[in-house]
Structure 1
Amino acid sequence: MKALRCPVVELRQYTLHPGQRDVLIDLFDREFVESQEAVGATVLGQFRDLDGPDRFVWLRGFEDMARRAEALESFYGGPVWRAHRDAANATMIDSDDVLLLRPASAGGGFPVPTGARPEPGEPGPLPPSLVLATIWYGHGPFDTGFVEYFEQRVRPVLAETGGEPLAYLQSEHAPNTFPALPVRLNEEVFVWFARFTDEGRLDDHRKRLQHSERWREEVLPTLSERWARAPQELRLAPTERSILR
Structure 2
Amino acid sequence: MNECCAVVDLRQYTLHPGHRDALIEVFDTYLVEGQEQTGMHIVGQFRDLDDPDRFVWIRGFRDLPARADALNAFYYGPVWRAHAAAANETMIDSDNALLLKPVRLGPGYPALDAPRADDATSSMIGGAVYHRAAEDDGFVEFFTDQVVPVLAATGAEPVAVFESLVAENNFPQLPLRDEVVLTWFARFADDTAYDEHRRRLADSPAWQGRVLPELVCRSAKPVQELRLRPTGGSQFR
- Where on the TM-score scale, by shorter chain, does this alignment land: which range? over 0.9
Residue 123, structure 1, aligned to residue 119, structure 2: yes
Give TM-score, length-normalised by structure 1: 0.91
Identity within the alignment, %:
52
Specify the SS of the correspondent of 2:95: strand
Give the conservation status (yes or no) of the 8 Å contact 1:103–1:109: no
> 2:30: which partner in 1?
31
Give the conservation status (yes or no) of the 8 Å contact 2:110–2:236: no
Aligned partner (choices 176, 189, 193) of residue 197 of structure 1: 189
Give RMSD over aligned pairs.
1.8
Alpha-carbon distance in 1 for matches of 2:182, 2:107 = 13
Give the conservation status (yes or no) of the 8 Å contact 1:142–1:189: no
Give the conservation status (yes or no) of the 8 Å contact 2:158–2:185: yes
Give the conservation status (yes or no) of the 8 Å contact 1:13–1:98: yes
**Deviation, structure 1 residue 112:** 3.5
> 1:45: which partner in 2?
44
> 2:100: which partner in 1?
101
> 2:157: which partner in 1?
164
> 2:110: which partner in 1?
112
Aligned 1:207-226 pairs, distance under 5 A: 207-226=199-218
Alpha-carbon distance in 2 for matches of 1:13, 1:134 = 13
> 2:140: which partner in 1?
147
**Deviation, structure 1 residue 25:** 0.3
Alpha-carbon distance in 1 for matches of 2:151, 2:119 = 32
Aligned 1:175-194 pairs, distance under 5 A: 175-185=168-178, 187-194=179-186
Specify the SS of the correspondent of 2:168: coil
Alpha-carbon distance in 2 for matches of 1:88, 1:152 = 41
**Deviation, structure 1 residue 141:** 2.2
Moved over 4 A (4+): 107-110
Alpha-carbon distance in 1 for matches of 2:3, 2:207 = 30
Q: Which runs of 5+ in 1 are unaligned?
A: none
**Deviation, structure 1 residue 7:** 1.1
**Deviation, structure 1 residue 115:** 4.7
Alpha-carbon distance in 2 for matches of 1:56, 1:111 = 20
**Deviation, structure 1 residue 149:** 2.9
Aligned residues: 236
**Deviation, structure 1 residue 220:** 1.7
> 1:20: which partner in 2?
19
Residue by residue over 1:215-245, the C-alpha shift from the partner in whole angstroms, topping out at 9 and shown as x without a partner, is 1122122222211111001210000010001
Give the conservation status (yes or no) of the 8 Å contact 1:8–1:102: yes
Alpha-carbon distance in 1 for matches of 2:36, 2:108 = 16
> 2:126: which partner in 1?
132
Residue 86, structure 1, aligned to residue 85, structure 2: yes
